[in-house]
Amino acid sequence: MTESAADLLHTPLFNLHGELGGKMVPFAGYAMPVQYPMGVKKEHLHTREQAGLFDVSHMGQLLLHGAGAAAALEALVPVDIVDLPVGKQRYALFTNDAGGLRDDLMVTNFGDCLYLVVNAACKAQDIAHLEANLPGDVRLERLDERALIALQGPAAGAVMAQLAPDTQDMVFMDARRMTIAGQACFISRSGYTGEDGFEISIPAEGAEALVRELLAHEAVAPIGLGARDSLRLEAGLCLYGHDIDTTTTPVEASLLWAISKARRADGERPGGFPGADVILEQIATKAVARKRVGLVGEGRAPVREGTELFDADGKGIGRVTSGTFGPSAELPVALAYVESTHAAVDTTVYAEVRGKRLPMTVSRTPFVPQRYHRG
């Protein structure tokens, strides 16, 4: 059923999107800009070349309070939260009892609390999952009255240095609380484009003024959901509900790097998270029937989500979960699940597009080099 405009939620920047000519579409229950007059391709390239500004206020922002917060969260994710340093952020995964992925999220240790950013479409279920599993001495706080924006691209560091000089010595996955434009902000040097950049959580009432100040810089342009998707795909980053979901395990999803050493079978705090037996067995045996891979195509025809994949003999071996023509990669790129026997780099598979079988090659990701600021 299509969501009507009247049913959609608005972010604190909704009116500004209209002023900027944003084309609004339903997304995870919100009215969000899919593109601006510049167009998706130019927005994508502008972000890679200068700096793009994204409204990601639809994401869920949460705080966990209490001395036992880190241990309580660690019991729900295959990630080292207990030893996450203060002022650092980490990618994490909520798993289910079958080893599948309930959501992926970002976790920051601010010392006196943990700050979580979860996906918009999973926000309600993640909150319910936390509330059902947190002990009585850990309190969950929803930050519904905050906006979240992302400034991404090679010019992001210079722009932020003018606005908040203390950001200059931050490196990838650093996070701080600081006052910007009179507002109490949470800032991380991170993002989901493969570029250097920052994510800024700010009280809703101060969001529009901050965004206007950022857009006043010649290097900064507003960027919609369309380019956000093509940027993250070129960076080889998963989109929840497409490339990962409750039926995919971290091992199948090629997210082994996200399972902390401390939580593995030979680690200091092995297992103890939902689905640990399944996931640790898959790590030990490397026995999974399918794997997430990157694919690059020939020519210019994009290979979209849902496209069936075949081997040279015409046997079905998998399906594309995200795909587009990469404006920076300048070739068709995709993420897909294929039978593990066809997951080796340089394997040729065939995508069925409009009745034709187009060759694609299993490729390492990212499809374009990541340029995170690591110091």
| pLDDT tens digits for range 336-350 | 999 999 999 999 999
Measured distance CA(280)–CA(291) in Å, rounded:
16
Q: Is the pLDDT of residue 163 over 80?
A: yes
In the chain, DSSP assigns E strands to: 23-27, 30-35, 51-55, 60-65, 88-95, 101-109, 113-118, 139-142, 146-152, 175-180, 183-188, 197-203, 220-222, 290-297, 308-310, 316-326, 331-339, 348-353, 356-363
What b/e readout covers 288-298, taking b as 16+ CB neighbours within 10 angstroms? Answer: bebbbbbbbbe
Residue 16: give the domain boundaries: 5-56+145-234
| Cβ atoms of 151 and 197 closer than 8 Å | yes
pLDDT of residue 1: 37
Residue 50 pLDDT > 50: yes
Q: What b/e sequence results for 151-161 when a residue is b if at least 16 CB atoms lie within 10 Å of its CB, and e otherwise? A: bbbbbbbebbe
- C-alpha pair distances (Å), 239 with each of 33, 97, 136, 261, 265: 18, 21, 33, 24, 28
Return the closest-CA partner of residue 235 out of 50, 369, 91, 41: 369
210-239 pLDDT tens trace: 999 999 999 999 999 999 999 999 999 999
31-48 pLDDT tens trace: 999 999 999 999 999 999
**Of the candidates 303, 361, 293, 362, which has an alpha carbon nearest to the alpha carbon of residue 332?**
303
pLDDT at 6 over 90: no
Share above pLDDT 90 across residues of the chain, in percent, rounded to a whole number: 98
Across the range 26-33, mean pLDDT stands at 98
Q: Does one domain contain both 203 and 342?
A: no
Looking at the fold, whether 51 and 158 belong to one and the same domain comes out as yes
pTM greater than the 0.75 cutoff:
yes
The per-residue pLDDT for 322 is 98
Do the domain assignments include residue 271? no
CB 98 within 8 A of CB 33: no
Evaluate whether residue 92 is within a structural domain.
Answer: no
Does 284 fall in a domain? Answer: no
pLDDT in tens, 348-365: 999 999 999 999 999 999
Q: What is the pLDDT of residue 235?
A: 98
Q: Which amino acid is at 290?
A: R
| Predicted confidence band of residue 3 (pLDDT cuts 50, 70, 90) | low
Helix (H) or strand (E) holding 160: helix 156-163
Looking at the fold, whether 227 and 354 belong to one and the same domain comes out as no
pLDDT (tens digit per residue) in 268-309: 999 999 999 999 999 999 999 999 999 999 999 999 999 999
Q: Determine the length of the chain.
A: 375
Domain-located, residue 36? yes
Flag whether pLDDT at 5 surpasses 80.
no
Q: Which two tokens stand for residue 348?
A: 């040729």
Distance between CA atoms of residues 366 and 329, nearest Å: 10
- pLDDT over 70, % of the chain: 99
- The domain boundary residue, chosen from 189, 208, 234: 234
In this prediction, residue 30 carries a pLDDT of: 98
The CB-side HSE value for 25 (13 A sphere, CA atoms) comes to 9
Tens of pLDDT, residues 198-212: 999 999 999 999 999
Do 205 and 316 lie in a common domain?
no
- Look up tokens 């939260």; give the residue: 81
- Give me the chain's average pLDDT, please: 97
Counting the structural domains of the chain, the total is 2
293 near 306, Cβ under 8 Å? no
In a domain, 72, yes or no: no
Give the domain CATH number at 371.
2.40.30.110
Q: What is the CATH number of the domain that holds 18?
A: 3.30.1360.120
Residue 221 lies in a domain: yes
Name the token pair of 225.
Answer: 């959901």
Q: What gap in Å lies between CA 364 and CA 219, rounded to an integer?
A: 31
